[in-house]
Amino acid sequence: MNRLQKAVDFCIRHQTTLSYSIVSLLTAASEHIFSSVVFKCPCNSGNMLYGYSFLLAPAFILLLLGYVVSARTWRLFTGACSPEKHLQCCSWRTWARFCQLLVLMTAKTSVAPLTWIAVSLLGANFYECAASGSSMTASLFCKNNTNYSQDQLFKLPCDKELSEKMSSECLSFQAQSQLIGWFLIASIMTAALTSTCVSHCCSPVIYLQLKFWKIYSRKEHELFETKAKEHATKLAERNTNCFFEATDPPPFHTPSNEDWQKISILYTFNSQDQYYSMIHKYVSTNRGKSTKFKEEGQDFAVLDFVDEAQAS
C-alpha cells in the first residue's frame, strides 16, 4: 500500500512531464503506423505534395487538437468578447497579456506536432518522397545531381538500386532527413532549456515559495472542484424537490455573474499585495469590492501555472 501511495505521489508531482512523455510516445507510435501501413509514395510528379502532406498536415491537425483539448484555451476565450468586457478588451495591457498567454499555450500544445515532425524526419519516408519531387532539393546536397533526370528522381523512393547508387555519390534523401530531424530535436531541447532557465531566473519568488505556490494552486483547484460539485448538487436537489412537490424554494445563495467574472480574470502577480490566485485575491479584497482588486500585476509568464491549475 505504501508503494502504491508513493507511486501516486510521484505521478502527481511529475504529472506535467509524464503527460508530455505519454503524448510524445503516442505520437511516435502513430507516426510509425502511418509510415509503415498507410503511406505509399506515388513515385511520380505528385511526390512533393504527397510527402509534405504526410509530414506537415498531421502536425497541423495535432496542433489544432491540442488547442481544442486544452482547458486554458477555453478559459482564455470564453466570454472574452462579451459586452461587459468590451472596454477591458480594448486595453493594450489586456492584449499584451492575451498574446503572451497565447504564445505560451502554443508552445505547450506544440509537443505532439513537433514530435510527429521529428520522428517523421528520423524515419525519412515522408521527406524522401517529398524531396524526390524537386530537383532543387537534390541540388542542395548533391553536386552530381545533373546525372539524374527528374523522372529518375521521381522513382527514387521506389527503386532501391537507384537509391543506393545515388547514396554512394552524394548525401541521400534519407541522410538529409535524419540530419534535419536531429537538428530540429537539438533546437527544441535548447530552446526549452533556455526558456526554462530564463523563466526561473526572472521569477519574482524564490524556489521554496514557488514550490509552495504550486502546491497551493493544485489544492485550491481540487477543493474548488469538490465544493462546486456539492453546491451544484444541493441547488439541483432544491429545484427538483420544489418542482415535484410544488413548493416555493427556500433561500439559497449562489455566486453572482459578477463574482464569477472576478475570479475568472487572468492572474497577474503583484509583489506589493501578494495573492496566490484570483480566488485568494477576491476573498482578501472584500469579495473584489476593494480598489486593490483592480490593481494590475507586473509578472505574467513566470507564474502562468496559476491560470493553468484553474483552467485544468
Please give the mean pLDDT across all residues of the chain: 80
Domain assignment present for residue 312? The answer is no
Taken as a whole, the chain contains a residue count of 312
Check if the beta carbon of residue 167 is closer than 8 Å to that of residue 175: yes
Query: Residue 145: what residue type?
Result: N
Distances (CA, A) of 8 to 21, 93, 219, 221, 250: 17, 40, 15, 18, 43
Mean pLDDT across 80-94: 63
Q: Which residue has the higher pLDDT, 175 or 229?
A: 229
How many whole angstroms separate alpha carbon 12 and alpha carbon 72? 19
Question: Do 59 and 189 share a structural domain?
Answer: yes
pLDDT at 84 (0 to 100)? 61
> Which structural domain range is residue 160 located in?
39-202
Question: Over 60: is that where the pLDDT of 155 sits?
Answer: yes
pTM, two decimals, is 0.80
Query: Does residue 194 share a domain with residue 87?
Result: yes
Give per-residue pLDDT as tens, 175-211.
Answer: 888 999 999 999 999 998 998 888 888 888 888 988 8
Q: Using one digit for the tens of pLDDT, what is the confidence trace for 23-69?
A: 788 888 888 888 888 888 888 888 889 999 999 999 999 999 988 88
Which grid cell is 291? Answer: 480598489
Tell me whether residue 287 is in a domain: yes
Is the per-residue pLDDT at 241 higher than 60?
Answer: yes
- Report the C-alpha gap between 37 and 47 in whole angstroms: 17
Does 96 score more than 80 pLDDT? no
Q: What is the arithmetic mean of pLDDT over 120-125?
A: 90
Whether 271 is covered by a domain: the verdict is yes
Of 111-115, 145-149, 299-303, which gets the smallest average pLDDT?
299-303
Q: Residue 50, SS3?
A: helix
Whether pLDDT at 14 is above 90:
no
What does DSSP assign to residue 251?
P
SS3 at position 41: coil
Of 99, 110, 87, which is closest to residue 27 (Cα–Cα)?
Answer: 110
Q: Are residues 77 and 101 in the same domain?
A: yes
User: CA neighbours within 13 Å on the CB side: how many for 87?
Assistant: 1
Burial of residue 36 (CB within 10 Å: 0-12, 13-18, 19+) is exposed
pLDDT band for position 229 (cuts 50, 70, 90)? very high
d(Cα 184, Cα 243) in Å, to the nearest integer?
A: 62
Structural domain includes residue 304: no
Shared-domain flag, residues 164 and 69 = yes
Give the integer Cα–Cα distance in Å for 223 and 225.
5
Report the distance separating Cα 249 and Cα 253, nearest Å: 12
Residues 28 and 81 in one domain: no
Same domain, 102 and 168: yes
pLDDT band at 170 (very low <50, low <70, confident <90, very high): low
**Do 232 and 272 share a structural domain?**
yes
* Three cell numbers written together for 108: 505547450
- % of the chain surpassing 90 pLDDT: 22
How far, rounded to the nearest angstrom, does the alpha carbon of residue 171 sit from its chain's CA centroid? 35
Q: Cell numbers 509503415 correspond to what residue?
A: 36
Distance CA 251, CA 254 (A): 10
Cβ(181)–Cβ(122) below 8 Å: yes
**Domain presence at residue 51:** yes
pLDDT score recorded for residue 198: 85
Within a domain: 216 = yes
Residue 6 identity: K
Q: Is residue 309, in this structure, part of any structural domain at all?
A: no
Q: In the prediction, which pLDDT does 11 show?
A: 57
> Stretch 83-98: mean pLDDT, rounded?
64
pLDDT at 85: 59
Q: Which residues are 299's β-sheet partners? A: 269
Which grid cell sits at 83? 459586452
Q: Pick the residue with more confidence: 133 or 243?
A: 243
Q: What is the pLDDT of residues 246-286, one digit of tens each?
A: 889 989 998 988 888 888 877 777 777 788 888 898 898 88
Burial of 266 (0-12, 13-18, 19+ CB in 10 A): buried
pLDDT (mean) for 65-94: 72
103, 167: one domain = yes
224 pLDDT exceeds 90? Answer: yes
Q: Is residue 119 part of a domain?
A: yes
Q: Domain count of the chain?
A: 3
Residues 71 and 151 occupy one common structural domain: yes
